[in-house]
Every structure is written in C-alpha cells, then in structure tokens.
Structure 1
C-alpha cells in the first residue's frame, strides 16, 4: 500500500555478509562494496534500519541487517525477520487471484459485482482492480469520514462503506491508470468469497506451504494469529524512536499486511521463474503492461511495475513505519530486496548503489547549543537542530553522528530565516548575488513585485537560472506593470477601458498560473493613480479566483488615508481574499497620533470577516518619488507645495537620495537645497519636480531620476503599527538609498525589542517569520519544525542592531552570526560565503 502514514535506530550492527564466489559475480563486486558502505553511512546517520539482500540466479551474494526489529525489546533484525510488506503485498494478492482464475473459479473480465453483490459499481471488473484502472477513490478518506477513532476497519466494513455512500468514481474504468489501494482490498474480499475460506488460510495453503516459506503470513490489526519473527514499525522523531505500527485501518487485507522476510522473498522471487504456483502463460499477464481504453499502455501489470521491456520488475511499499522494495532484474536473474521498519525511505539510494550509479547520500548538519525561537511566538527553549539536505529534520536533545558537521550556536538564538514581505532588492541581485543587504539582517526570502511594479515571472526565473543568488524570491504581479502592457506607456493617466481590463485580467491569470502570489498595487503612484475602484476590484477578483492574495501601497497615506483604507477593505470584502496594506503609516502631520483609530478601523473590518493585515518598517521616514508629495498631481500649484511642506514632510530632515538633473543635490535635504537656491522650501519643491520631469523627457531611458527620503511620520504611530498583532515586519528596502535596505529587521530587534521593550523577542521574530509566511500564503517556511525548509538565522540578542544610517546606508548590521538558506551557509562573520542556493518560490 503506497499509502503513507508515519523511530531512532539502535546503534548495533546485526548481520553482514557478502561473497563473490559465484559465477558472474565479479562484475557486481564494486557495486556491492558501494552498497555496503552506503548502508553503513545511512545507518550511522539514523537513515536506515532494516535488511538488504542481493541474489543472482537464486544464490545470495550479499545480505546486511542493521538495527532492531522491536524498539521496545531491542530485538535485533536478521534476514529471517518478518516485515510488513506494505504495497509489496499486492503481488501476493494478485497471485492468489491468478490461481483462482487458472482453476476456473473467476474471470478477470467479470464485473466485481459477480463475486461481491454489495459492490455498487456495475462496470468495474476484476481486471480493473488488478491493474489500478477502476477509478475508485481511496478507502482512507471514506474511513476517516464515516468511522470513529475506535473503529477497526475490515474488508467487510470497507465494502459496506462503498455500498452505503457510493462515492463518485474519479474516472471511468479503463480510462486511465491511477494507483488504488481500495481495489486490492476488494481483491482480498474476492479471494475469501471465491476461495471459500479466510484469505489468510488460502494464502497459507496455496503460497506459503507450496514454497515452504518459513516467515511469511498475513497479519492484521486484532488478528487472532500469532506472528513469527514479526517486526514492529517505528519512526525517528526528533532523535527518539516512536512506535509507528498497525493502526485502526489495518483490519483490512489486500493492499498490505502480508508479512515476509528477506530470505522468504528470495524464495518467492525464484518461484516466479517456475510453474510452482501458476502456469507460465497465466503468470505472463502479471508482467504485461495494462492497455487503457484509448489503446495506450501503462507499465503496470498485476502487482508489478514493469520497466525496460519487462527486464526489470519491481514494486515498493510504504505504510506506517515500513518502507519496502523488491526488484527482479529478469535478464540477469538478479534480485534486490529492501525491507525497513524505521520510516527510512532508502530505496532510491540502495538501488542507485546496486546499479553502479553514484548514490546521492543525504547530507546532515547539526546546530547545537542554541536558544530556539521557532517562529510561532512561543518562548525560547534550549535545543539542537539537525538539517538534512535543504530541510529541517530533527529538533531536541541531539548528539552528533560520526563525522557529522556541527555548528556550535554558543547559546545564541536560532530563528527561522526572516521573510521580507515587501522588498525592492531583486533589481540589485544581478550585481549583488550574495545579497549582502538582505542576509546581513537575517533575511532569507524576499518578496518582489511591490507597489504595483513587477518582473514577469518567466524573466525572473530566467534571471535566477543565469545568475543564482543567495536568497529565495517570491513575487506578486504588479498592477502598474499590467497597465503598462495593456494601456501603453502613454495611456496610463486615465481609467482603463473594459477591453483593457480584460487584457490585464488575462495577463494576471497567466502570471498566477506561473506562481505569482497575487496582485500588488501602488495606487498612490501615477501609473495606477488614475485607475478606479472597479478596475482594481476586477483584477483583484481574478487573482482571488486563482487562489491568490492582494497587497497594496494604498491610494493615500496622508490626506485621503481614510478613503484609501476603505478601498482596500472593500476589495477584501468583495473578493473574499486576504488583503494587506503595504508599509502601514500615517504621513500627514494633522493625523499624527491617530494610529489607534486606524487600527480600530482595521479590527472592525476583521470582525466583519475581512482578512486584512499589514506590514510595517521601523522608521519614521519613507523613500519615494518627490511627486507623491502632490496628492492632487498639481505640481505647479504653490498652495499644494506649501501644504506639502507643512503637512506631508519636513524639508529640514528630508534628504534627496538621487537627483539626476543635478547630482550635486544628492545627499542634501530639501531645506539645504532651498538655502542654496535662496528659495522657500515650497518653491524649491516645485522646482525640483519640474527639473526632474524635464530631465526625464530628455532622457527617456533613464531610471531612478529622482528619489527622496521623506520625514513625515510620528514614532509613537510607528510603534503602534509595529505592535499590532496582524502586522508583520518588512523592509521596503533596496540596495542603497534608505537605510532600511540594509537594516530594517535588525533595527526592530535592537531598537524596539532590546532597547525599548516594545515587544518580546519571540513576538518580533514571529512577525518576521511565521506570521509573514501566513500573510503571504507560503508553505513549509517561516517556522523551525521538521520538514520545513532549512532557512535559518543565528543571532546574538545582546548585540544585534542596525548600523545603516543616512549617508551610510550600506553599513552592515552586527549580531547576525550566521544565515542558512536551504541548509547552505550563506553568511557568517559579516561576510558572504559565496553559496547561492536561493530558489524561486511559487505560490
């Protein structure tokens, strides 16, 4: 049963032998040595607990048994230990059906109803069950839905579930191949009915005794039989062995619950070259690919996968703690058997080693002596964390494996890698693939496509392929980018026509299918400012229909902030999708101190069912274009300029980051420039807009013509927004310019957590990790828990702080000791390591 539910190994080698004396075996000798060393490495790293047997022409060339068959009694494994074969059981079930067919007791082409009258599907045949072409749903779902936790599922009760509830078939019988455990449980019932005896009796009489098998039998939950040499399943869970054996679904027989040993399986495999069980003509069908209704075939017969023109016959099994595999190389008369009971999926590696391929062994790394803050908001705890390849494997009291690489955390905090939900760093990664601006503050994933501007996903992925980078990238699709494509560069300063909205929706759906997180807007910027609510809602609905989200630099953060917040709430209400306010702020002096009212407005919306959230950066000055200081886009209006100076920014503390029309202005405040020009700040503001516009017209290919860091927020409001339970931390940063590009996250940890005690450290980290992942819809990231990606940051809470300042915006943070992305160390001791494991993260 390749049905998967989910203990550490005991460190002793039980049996091991191999020989090279038989004819033909010298060619296998190197492979067997590789196999042996591979199993030893896997065992020493708690990745193998089981038995491997290799034979040629029925002669055993190699066996190895490592570990325990019972984690409670420490009973050692041997080649006679009887494992639950899981789905390898299916070949035995198929054999019994073939025996009944050969004796004239049943026909493959007969409907199942012929033998099981309560079966509710008239067109499904016995052959459909054998070949996995029935279209039946898996019985697990039915059992979980309609039976209780104390009910043991049996073959009879499963049949009654089908009879009573008659779930729809997934496809019409024979239309396609889809693995189905339900079918083989039904075959088990047919054997009992047609064979006129319990299936375990029929099995013993017709397979076990004729082959003189010593440790092969059927055993199931609440079985009355006494099993011989039974192996118990377990799994390794955070460094400890935990039972993982038969459960209440295991009262069924057919898709699993045949037990056998490696030695017996070899006898079984050899018998298939003979007519001890069925005639050769009967057996041939088991190794013939199934023919589908459209005349195509699929390489599966009766309980066997078929490869290389039937030169390789195999099956695997996976259930609770058991992982099993049998491969028959029929042209070479070789057999490879793998039986494990520790939840170890070693099949691929064992096969690679046996076949002479270089096995790709999992790589582990242990991080010890840390205070673990796991991203959930829970209090720190002392622990060690083990990585396996790009994932987190174990957490707890762990000791190093032999020759395992170890990082001593020195008592520092280990946290999930920070996720920057609003980043503009992607544009600089071509020249800065080490992503120092990002990793120096502990960020391992950045989210692009913000403020309505995005890269097309094909281009972004091609860029990553050409130039790998140190951090992961996800992206939204920008509203302004869609508008530019649909309306043209000269058509942006108006509302879109219906056909243009349709074109944008089509483009957005395509990007959503390629992994976009959703729609982002920058409604305060000219490229999108002239769109109306209907246009935005239609596009947001298209994103919602594709399972996406909405994030917005809202239409106003100052004069019309109330209306702008109402707009994003309406979008969330209309589309029923999660919506997020980018870099939440109040940038109007007269509204300073009203953060509590804004948050109350958001909480009311949440209470009404709108999933609205926010991100926020820890500064009271922003960075944007000078033009946003004119909310009415009346750049020559002296009254508007005076309003901007008095209400929207402080010219004495607002710095031009760049100004292509006069580069000498870069680094100076608007107040400084006004003094140089002998003007009032309002007059200078209008002049700067006009000069930048003229430069842009003369230089249409120029990018970043002007930019300003505007001081326009009040710190108490910033702190309130940071502390809101539905706010995650972001940087809104890029390479150069605003210090947030290099220091936003470390500024929170130093200034607001350690120094000002705004929130506990674990809460701040939650706002940088688990909460952010939730807001973005990212899976398997943002927490330190087994199975999640190994994106991690090691930090010293006593020294962590930002060092980037205006004029020194690229200064690296201190206190970030190490950063891992996908298990690879990318940053340590304030230096990049040169590793570039970052990937594109699809929605």
Structure 2
C-alpha cells in the first residue's frame, strides 16, 4: 500500500482549466475559500468523492463531505464516515510498536527474529522495518505467485511465505531507503506476538479507547464484524462507479486496513502534541530521520514522512479505491486531512490549494452522438467520449457535467487521429506550423527522418520549442544523414570504411538514446545506394540493441526488387527486431500483377519469426527524383533511358512538379516536354538528368532542383498491398508536389473503403491508427481508450474524399469535420484553428 508519489496526481491534472489559488501570503480564510471552490469543481467533474478537514490549533476551520460511501448503495458520505486509511495506517502500527518499546516489551535494534522466530533474516531489526530500510521485497509478488485463487492472505500466512521462500533481499539492511509494505505487515505480527493479543485488540485498548475515538477500528478481508459506517472503495469507469474494495491479500494488518474518520484523525493528530499515548521523548524518535549505514539520513521516521526539517509531517496512502493524506504543519499547528474512496483523491491538488499555490484543475470535454470506430478493428458502436486534459477519460453513455464543453457529433464517425508512419511534412512545418496539409486529412502524428534523411532529435526538439506545431512528431535516424556527417557530401558514392561505420554507429547510439525510433534507410537513393549490406546490418544491429526498429525505402522497387526484399528480410532475421518496408510497391511493368507472390514471400518470413511489415500509400504514382529512373546510375546510357520509359514509368502520365533548370517544364509531363523538344521521351529523360545535374553544379546550395510524380504502379497491386493485414497506411507526403501530401488518408476512406469496398471502414481505421502505432512502437496512441492521448478525428464517412490532384495538390479534403491533438481542436470546418499542441514523441 505505497503512498501516492507527490507529483503523480499533479501530472495527471496538468490541463488547461486553471483555478488561481491565493498566494502563500493570502489570508487563511481566503485559502479556505479557494479550497472549497476547488473541491466543488473536482466533485462536479466526478474526480472527488471524500472528506476534507482543515484544523487550526486543534479547532476545525473547514470540513466537507462530497460523494458516496458505496457505489452499490450510493449512500452519502459524512465527516464521521470511516475510510480505509491505506498507508496512513502505518503511523498507528508504529505507535503501537513505540508503546511496546516504552513498556520494555521490545527494543528497536533487536533482530526481528527475537520476536518472530520463523523470520529468516537475522540481520534485519525492528528499526529497519519501521524506517523502510530492511531491503525486503514487497509481499505482493510472493502472494500472487504462491497463493491459490481462493486463498486470503493473513499476517501468519505472509510470514510463512517469507519463511518458506526466503526472497532475495533488494539490498543489505540499512544500506538504503526503499518503501516496503512487507515490513509493516511484519510489525503487525510483532505486535501480536509481543502483546499476546491480536493486533486489532491491542489497537482498541491502547489507542482507540484512550483517545475516545468514535469511528476508528481495524477491518480486513473476511473480518467477522462489519461496521455500519465503513466506506467502500470504488472507481469510475466510463461514466459508471464500480466497486474497487478489499481483495484477497487484504487479510493482513499493518501496511493498511486501519479505518478512521476525518474527525477521529484530528483527535489522533492533537494527541500527538500530548503524552496521552507515549512520552514526548519516545514520540520524538518517530519524527527523527532514518539513519543509514553510511551515516546519511533519509527524511522518514516511524510511519511519518518528514518535510522542512520536521516542520511538516505527512503521509499518503493509496490502495484499491482509497486515496488518503494527513499533513501536520507542526510550526503553524495546522492540520490537513483528505480521505477519498473514488480512486482519484487529488490530495496534492488540495494541499497546494490550501498552501496558497496555484493549481491546475481538470478540464473535461464531451463529444456525444458519434459512431465510435476505436482503432481496434471491431465494429463501430454508438457512444460518447469524454476527454480530460490531453487524455481520453471515459467512453460510453455519458451525461454532461455542469458547465462542461459538449460537442454534438451528429452521428459522424469518431476515430483515433491518424498516424502517418512515413512523412516528409516536417519540411514545411517551420513555414506552416498549423499543419493544414496533415490535419485536413485527419493526421495527428507524423513520423519523419525517412528515406535515410532527417535531422538530429535535439534539433527537432529545439525547433518545436521555438515554433510549436499543430501535430505530433516522432522520428527515425536517417542512414544517409549519418553517412553525410561521417563521410562528407563528396564521399557518399562508395562503401564506408570500417572506422567510418564505427563513427556512424556511435552517432546512431546517441540519437537512439535521445528517443529516435530506430534506423531509417533510403537505399535506392545515391547517398546510400553505394553502401553494402554489412554496413547497413551493423547499423541496424545498433538500433536493435537499443530496442529500436528499422524502416527502409528498400534498395530497389523495380529491377532488383527481389534482392531488395531479401536484404530487409535478412536484416530482420539477423537483428531480431521489427523491420518495415516503406511505401510498398511494384514499380516495374513486367512485374505488375505479382503482388500476391511478394506478399506470400513476406508471410513466409513472418512464419519463420521475422517481424516484417509494410506501409503503403493509395496511389499508382510516386514522387522522387528523376535520377531513380536509372537503377544502374548510368544516366547517359540510351538503352537504360529506353528501359526506363518502357518499364519504369509512363512518360505520358508522369509530371515534372519542379525543374529549376527550366521552370517552364514544371507541371508538364515528360511526354509533353519530349514533344516540345521534338525528341523521344528516352532522349528527353537523359537530357533532363543532365540539365538538372549541371544546374546543381552551378548552384551547389540549391535544394529540390527537380522532382517528378511518376505513374508506374498497377491499381490491382496497390489494392493488394493496402489490404495485407500487416500493412498500415502512410502518405509519404510533403506540402509540395504529390497529391498524397494533402489527401492520402482521405483517399483511402473515400475511394478504397466507401466506393470500392476494398475493406471495412473499421479495418481501414485500424490501419491508420493502432496498427501504425504498433509498427512504430508508439505507446498510448492509436486507440480511443481510457488513458490514451486524446488525438481524435471526426468525419462523415458518406462524404469524406480527397480532392488534391496533380497540378492542384493542395486542395483540401472534404468530410473531415474536426481534428483534436492532445485534447485541443486544431482543425474544424476546413480551417486550422491556430492551436498548436503538437509534441515530440520519443521512443
């Protein structure tokens, strides 16, 4: 029953609706008013069920009960309701040990074996248990491993498990501090053995009665008594409260299972200023930092965390549905008590409010009346979805909270935001941070660093800090980028030397440590084409060793396609990491129609244990440099040029989208240009390569000198690749040139799903979301599920359609109603909203 980490709840609540608490210099009364407002907001948004009490010099200044005592009865809480204190129970166990020590029944520095003969660790003392310095592992794992499914764990049973299995200590006793529930369960057994009575009886006689506590007792799983005012734990799931109470290991006493009310806890708190329970000299040790073997100290005493040199004493608790907190501001003689039973106590938010610090409270948004396609591939269902901050919180039949933002989905489809596993849109984000090319087609995350290019992770982060963008980015590390940095721009047209490979490997390790997804290669391009298999494999192994992945624009998509497929399969087999083929295609006319054969080859590799996958964009034409049309890099060979126009692309349907050497050619097909020049398409192709090369030589700083959108695939093959269960959708797009930059995802939804019925809508969405996330190793993205990031797209499946075409590549898609990134709307009614919540996603 570990305490809730101080920052955990705050992290969960860093959202946009801010309640400005009074400054620390503000009056106590004003801070109590801020606290009341905070509790009202939390309760209205179903994230607080519990009791809060504040006292000043022993007198109650504020108390409030909001919520229910049980999810089954819906009875209302009161300030006398008895909550499971979870780990706050430990201070009561520690007090009973102190009472026994004061009566000379035990000594702190005696071995535990003195009082529990079956305890198998002679070097662990009672003090080690009290201060969490024993080195014992948590008992939860032992119980889970060795208990039968119907067994209830007791103190005696836990001691027997420790005796029988002697789990290895995490560290030598006294060597360090590490929170340990096992130690306090053992202390419960020590109390029973030393006092000669059950721990709950000793507790009743020595704490409850002397303090005249009205609603305080020990209760555990299968207790014979059932107190009338016991609060039951619950948790809210998708708009409904469900029990989350004691489980089968809750037959133990010590680390939890003391029940008390807020009012009784105040009585307990005040008793600690007196000698009603133990002498002041005895109690002082409870508030003394634990001393380690090295002489260093840790700010934990006996059941109390020590802050500000002991001026603040506190403890938290977290178990099943209960979240608890007690803070004693000793210097101010003030007390804060928070007891909750709804799995979301917000104790640290309450504390910050009382202390006069600004806090961020959860802002929720509700999207109602949607057909939910959640990314799993399962059939659509009618539902509502609630976001809290940047995450999805609830799904189901949900009613609006007071003053909650509500959007009527009007029966449209709500899906996870689309994840573009192969993108070049980052090139334009500095100029167009609103990311209209992406969001207009429902994309919320792009993956860059593709085809061997890209920039270092730190550079991406610096750019995002300087200029936030509307979509999320993740990045691979480009093979060609590594080659360029190590071998120089003029050294790329050869294989790398061993020492150069080693330098590339070190650079790659650094990028992987900075969160790169893995290694991306563009082996068909000249900057990497001259690398050999060994160079690529060595770098791929570095990615594998770091838990990364490999994605590749393979060495050939036409003439040497079979060998290129064999290479990536071999990389997957040798490194045992996931490998992915970028924009899977067959770009050789003589091989059209062989997609089924290629997919069978990939399936055989998968059956052998190679985790090979692919992404694909929904077009019969690609975009690249015209130089890739010469697989042998023999740009002046007429036979190769003739082969290109007959096998590798259709000159009459392939358009130069840019040509710096002669801008008048841009927008024209190669066939049109050949007619203008009164020469054959093959001769024109050679001439275009030569003219572009000459321009680049004269203008060495020029970028994007030429580019072609080339028709070279068959639609039947494209359909087979799209439909393969291990293919996810990508765009391979950018802001300029190919229409895929603005319409790849909507083209799938309109052309291939609605019109041609290539696959069900739910399958297509899965290929755009959760399958992409799986192939990339992204966590908490790609599904509409509680706890996942609120990246969402709302669209009309009856009208969704890409409109971008060659020559009008920036035409916006229709049918996309709204897009959210991290819970913030970035696109609505075919307009970017200007909000830019995108983040860098690191592996």
TM range (shorter): over 0.9
Matched position secondary structure for 1:75: coil
Corresponding residue of 1:161 = 161
Determine the structure 2 residue equivalent to 1:9.
none
Contact kept? 2:4, 2:317, Cα under 8 Å: no
The worse-fitting range, judged by mean Cα deviation, of 739-748 and 561-570 is: 561-570
Aligned to 2:358: 358
- In 2: Cα distance, 1:193 partner to 1:699 partner: 89
In the alignment, which residue of structure 2 is the partner of 1:16? none
> Which runs of structure 2 are paired with 1:12-27 in the superposition (5 Å)?
27=27
Q: 1:189: Cα distance to partner? A: 1.8
Instruction: Indicate the larger mover: 735-744 or 349-358.
Output: 349-358
Q: C-alpha displacement at 1:457, in angstroms?
A: 0.6
Contact 2:4 2:316 in 1 (8 A): no
Q: Distance in 1 between matches of 2:487 and 2:121?
A: 55
Q: Whole-Å Cα distance in 1 between the matches of residues 26 and 546 of structure 2?
A: 58
Further displaced range: 476-485 or 392-401: 476-485
Cα displacement (A) at 1:565: 0.8
Q: How far apart are the structure 1 equivalents of 2:569 and 2:451? A: 17
Q: Secondary structure at the match of 1:328?
A: strand
Mapped to 2, the partners of 1:135 and 1:435 lie a distance apart of 52
1:106 is paired with a residue of what secondary structure? coil
In 2, Cα distance between equivalents of 1:811 and 1:66: 53
- Return the offset for 1:3: 7.1
Contact 1:82 1:228 in 2 (8 A): no
Q: CA deviation at 1:104?
A: 2.4
Secondary structure of the structure 1 residue equivalent to 2:685: helix
CA distance in 2, matches of 1:495, 1:108: 70
Secondary structure of the corresponding residue to residue 789 of structure 2: coil
1:398 and 1:539 map into 2 onto residues whose CA distance is 50
| Alignment partner of 1:579 is 2:579 | yes
Equivalent pair of 2:49/2:345 in contact (CA under 8 Å): no
- Counterpart of 1:376 in structure 2 is 376
* 1:36 partnered with 2:36: yes
* In 2, Cα distance between equivalents of 1:514 and 1:163: 45
C-alpha separation in 1, matches of 2:489 and 2:284: 68
State the 1:162 CA deviation: 2.4
Q: Corresponding residue for 2:739? A: 739
Aligned match of 1:339 = 339
Residue pair 1:215, 1:228 contacting (<8 A) in 2 also: no
Aligned residue for 1:76, secondary structure, equals: coil
State whether structure 2 residue 97 is matched by structure 1 residue 80: no
Indicate the larger mover: 240-249 or 97-106.
Answer: 97-106
Distance 2:701 2:115 in 1: 77
CA shift for structure 1 position 638: 1.4
Q: Which moved more, 1:297-306 or 1:646-655?
A: 297-306
2 CA distance for matches of 1:776 and 1:645?
Answer: 36
**C-alpha distance in 2, partners of 1:170/1:580?**
41
Q: CA deviation at 1:121?
A: 3.0
Contact preservation (8 Å) 2:529, 2:555:
yes
Deviation at 1:117, TM superposition (A): 3.0
Equivalent residue, structure 1, for 2:150:
150
CA contact (8 A) 2:3 2:315 kept: no
Question: Do the aligned residues in 2 keep the contact of 1:670 with 1:684 (CA within 8 Å)?
Answer: yes
Counterparts in 2 of 1:50-89, with a 5 A limit? Answer: 50-89=50-89
Paired position in structure 1 for 2:13 = none
Quick one: distance in 2 between partners of 1:121 and 1:473? 51
1:416–1:793 contact (8 Å) kept in structure 2? yes
Unmatched 5+ residue regions in structure 1? Answer: 6-24
Conserved 8 A contact 2:84-2:231 = yes
CA distance in 2, matches of 1:89, 1:627: 73
Mapping of residues 124-273 of structure 1, within 5 Å: 124-273=124-273
Change in 2 beyond 3 A, CA 1:629/1:222: same
Which residue matches 1:10? none
Q: Quote the residue 1:542 is aligned against.
A: 542
Of the structure 1 ranges 480-489 and 789-798, higher mean CA displacement relative to structure 2 is found in 480-489
Question: For residues 162 and 702 of structure 1, what CA distance do their matches in structure 2 show?
Answer: 71
| Structure 1 residue matching 2:433: 3-state secondary structure | coil
Quote the residue 2:440 is aligned against: 440
- Which position in structure 2 is the counterpart of 1:623? 623
Structure 2 equivalent of residue 515 of structure 1? 515
Q: C-alpha separation between the residues in 2 aligned to 1:122 and 1:422? A: 60
Query: Which residue is 1:497 aligned to?
Result: 497
Flag the 1:115–1:509 CA change in 2: closer, same or farther, 3 A: farther
SS at match of 2:506: helix
Q: Is the 8 A contact 1:4 1:319 kept in 2?
A: no
Q: CA deviation at 1:4?
A: 8.4
- Measure, in 1, the Cα distance between the counterparts of 2:663 and 2:84: 75
Q: What is the CA–CA distance in structure 1 between the aligned matches of 2:612 and 2:347, rounded to whole Å?
A: 46
**Structure 1 residue 402 corresponds to structure 2 residue 402:** yes
| CA-CA distance at 1:514 after TM superposition | 1.3
Work out the CA distance in 2 between the residues paired with 1:796 and 1:138: 52
Distance 2:158 2:580 in 1: 46
Give the equivalent residue in structure 2 for 1:119: 119
Query: How far off is 1:26 after superposition?
Result: 9.8
Q: 1:223-265: per-residue Cα shift (whole Å, max 9, x none)?
A: 1233241001111111111011000111111111111000110
Are the equivalent residues in 2 in contact too, given 1:306–1:313 (CA < 8 A)? yes
Alignment of 1:548-697 (within 5 A): 548-697=548-697
Give the CA deviation at 1:182. Answer: 1.6
Which secondary structure does the structure 2 equivalent of 1:652 belong to?
A: helix
Structure-2 separation of matches of 1:788 and 1:111: 48
Question: Does the residue aligned with 2:414 lie in a helix, a strand or coil?
Answer: strand
Q: Distance in 2 between matches of 1:240 and 1:725?
A: 35
Q: Kindly indicate whether the alpha-carbon contact (under 8 Å) linking 1:524 and 1:554 is maintained by their aligned counterparts in 2.
A: yes
Contact 2:368–2:383 (Cα < 8 Å) also in 1: yes
SS of match in other structure, 2:810:
coil
1:424 aligns to 2:424 (yes or no): yes
Separation in 1, partners of 2:103, 2:541: 62
> Which stretch has the larger CA shift, 667-676 or 554-563?
667-676
| Aligned twin of 1:458 | 458
Contact 1:650 1:711 in 2 (8 A): yes
Contact 1:551 1:579 (8 Å CA) reproduced: yes
The 3 A distance-change label for structure 1 pair 229 and 575 is same
Unaligned residue ranges in structure 2 (runs of 5+): 6-24
Counterpart contact for 2:26–2:356, Cα < 8 Å: no
Which whole-Å deviations, capped at 9, do the CAs of 1:777-828 have from their partners, x for residues lacking one? 1111100111111110000001100011101111110100000111101100
| Higher deviation after alignment, 817-826 or 697-706 | 697-706
Aligned to 1:839: 839
Contact kept? 2:65, 2:78, Cα under 8 Å:
yes
CA gap 1:43/1:537 in 2 versus in 1, 3 angstroms: same
- Counterpart of 1:20 in structure 2 is none
Which residue of structure 2 aligns with residue 526 of structure 1? 526
TM-score by length of 2: 0.96
Q: Counterpart of 1:763?
A: 763
Aligned to 2:52, the other structure's residue is in SS state: strand
Cα deviation for residue 841 of structure 1 reads: 0.8
CA distance in 2, matches of 1:149, 1:695: 76
* Residue aligning to 1:329: 329
Instruction: Point out 4+ residue stretches in structure 1 off by more than 6 angstroms.
Output: none
1:703-725 deviation line (CA, Å, top 9, x unaligned):
11111111100000000000001
Q: Relative to 1, partners in 2 of residues 1:114 and 1:531: Cα closer, same or farther, differing over 3 Å? A: farther
Distance (whole Å) between structure 1 residues aligned to residue 195 and residue 663 of structure 2: 92
TM-score normalised by the chain length of structure 1: 0.96
Q: How big is the shift at 1:350?
A: 1.0
SS at match of 2:317: strand
- Are residues 1:800 and 2:800 paired? yes
Which residue pairs with 2:705 in the alignment? Answer: 705
Partner in structure 1 of residue 308 of structure 2: 308
**Aligned-residue offset at 1:188:** 1.6
The superposition leaves residues 454-502 of structure 1 with CA deviations (integer Å, 9 ceiling, x where unpaired) of 2101111011111111111111111111112222222222222222222
Matched, 1:748 2:743: no
How far the C-alpha of 1:68 sits from its partner, in A, is: 1.4
Equivalent residues of 2:50, 2:66 under 8 A apart: yes
Contact 1:4–1:320, Cα closer than 8 Å, also in 2: no
* Secondary structure, counterpart of 1:145 in structure 2: helix
State the alpha-carbon separation in 2 of the partners of residues 234 and 4 from structure 1: 17
Secondary structure, counterpart of 1:70 in structure 2: coil
Check the 8 A contact 2:579/2:612 in 1, yes or no: yes
